[in-house]
Amino acid sequence: MENNKVSIYDIAKYLGLSPATVSYVINGVDKVSEATKQKVLKAIDELGYVPNYTARTLSTGKSHLIGILLPLDDASIAFLQNPFYVEFIGGFEKGMLGYNYDLVIGVTKTQDDLKEWVLRRDLDGLVIIGTCPKNIYSELKRLNIPIVLIDDYSDDANAFNNISSNDEQGMYLATRYLINSGHKNIGFIGKPESYLIDMRRFEGYKKAMEEDHLEIKDDNIYRINATFNDGYEIGEELINKKELTAIVCSADILAIGIMKKIKELGYDVPKDLSIMGYDDISYANFVYPGLSTIRQDISEKGSRAAEILIDKLENDRRGKVTINMEPVLVIRESVKGK
């Protein structure tokens, strides 16, 4: 094998030392005299040595690789239309700063692939975004590496490190803001029966409504998927329902779709309908009028995920961590007082 790479053997030979001594210096093992250490450090610099993580992994069993699973399947591709992933990854890398871990992306990994993927690469840890297929959790447990689930609201997820947002509180804030602005007939847009995240948000809506003894009418609940198109398509029905003065949406992208249709039909937001979004994606501010919404700090989620993994891996910490992040009300122009 032609190979110009410098190994600890080269350095050892160059200095007339053994590879072990060089390894000790590199790893800061306090077994080497100061003089020898300096010589080794100098040689590393001179020869341009770069540690080979592959060999290190083989030897230590730690790859310093962390897998991140993005669900890129058809069902969730719409979800990608918001910059969630990149923001998350940015935050994650920030949290990893100073620790030599690399992030391996897994897209379209089915549960069959998943286990093999983790094993063959000796992945040290795993971050999974979104709810997993039901039957994968026992498999995950068996992998025996730290795993952080992001926004997985299933019961199974409770057995893992877990970062999510307090969605009930978030939607409570949204609904309360509408109520406090004088609205009484408030619609809910989302699929509480299909998606756990929507269920939790529905609970917040319900709590606010019941607090003020406002009626929750089932035909004010519009069960559609969280995509622009689904919002766009329901827009006409919403604007034509005159008793409805405001809606809360379980996703900004939905609200943006609804808003677009309403304006195409010649109506005005918020005059003809007040709209609350959820997520505070950047485009919530970019559309006109600016969408009032609930912010969850995605980048923060990323760095918290990194911290959890680092703590597990570097300090061999046991036990599971659950973080429920508090959402914040963001007021722009899509809601009008009544």
Is 27 among the residues that bind DNA (CB under 7 A)?
yes
Residue 16 DSSP SS3: coil
Q: If phi over 0 gives left and psi between -120 and 50 gives alpha, with beta otherwise, what is residue 319?
A: left
Stretch that binds a copy of itself, among 97-105, 152-160, 184-192, 207-215 (CB under 8 A): 97-105
54 binds a copy of itself (CB under 8 A): yes
Q: ∠249-251-255 over CA atoms, to 5°?
A: 60
Does residue 264 contact residue 279 with C-beta atoms inside 8 Å? Answer: no
Cα–Cα distance for residue pair 329/338, rounded to 1 Å: 19
Give the whole-angstrom CA distance, residue 282 versus residue 129.
20
Output the CA torsion sign for 183, 185, 187, 192.
Answer: positive
Peptide bond into 19 cis (omega under 30): no
**Contacts with 16 (C-beta within 8 Å, 6 or more apart), sequence order:** none
Q: Is 144 in the site for DNA (CB under 7 A)?
A: no
Q: Residue 27 binds which entry of a copy of itself, DNA, none, with Cβ cut-offs from 5 to 8 Å by kind?
A: DNA
Q: In DSSP terms, which residues pair with 192 in a beta bridge?
A: none
Decide which of DNA, a copy of itself, none touches 179; Cβ closer than 5 to 8 Å per partner kind: none
Is position 107 an interface residue for a copy of itself (rule: CB under 8 A)?
yes
Q: State yes or no: residue 228 binds a copy of itself (CB under 8 A).
A: yes
Rule CB under 7 A: is residue 154 a binding residue for DNA?
no
Q: Does residue number 24 form part of the binding site for DNA (CB under 7 A)?
A: yes
- Given a copy of itself, DNA, none, residue 135, with its beta carbon under 5 to 8 Å by kind, binds none
Q: Which of residues 50-89 bind DNA (CB under 7 A)?
A: 51-52, 54-56, 58-61
Classify 151 in phi/psi space as left (phi over 0), alpha (psi -120 to 50) or beta: left
The verdict on 86 binding a copy of itself (CB under 8 A) reads: yes
Decide: is 36 part of the binding site for DNA (CB under 7 A).
yes
Contact range with a copy of itself by CB under 8 A, out of 13-21, 62-70, 203-211, 311-319:
62-70
Is residue 259 within 8 A of residue 275, CB to CB? The reply is yes
Shortest spacing between CB 39 and a copy of itself, in angstroms: 22
Q: Quote the distance between the C-alpha of residue 53 and its chain's center.
A: 28
Contact residues for DNA, defined by CB under 7 A: 1, 3, 5, 7-9, 12, 16-21, 23-24, 26-27, 29-36, 49, 51-52, 54-56, 58-61
Contact residues for a copy of itself, defined by CB under 8 A: 1, 3, 5, 50-55, 57-58, 61, 63, 65, 68, 70, 72, 77, 80-83, 85-87, 89-90, 93, 97, 102-108, 115-117, 119-122, 228, 253, 256-257, 259-260, 263-264, 282-283, 285-288
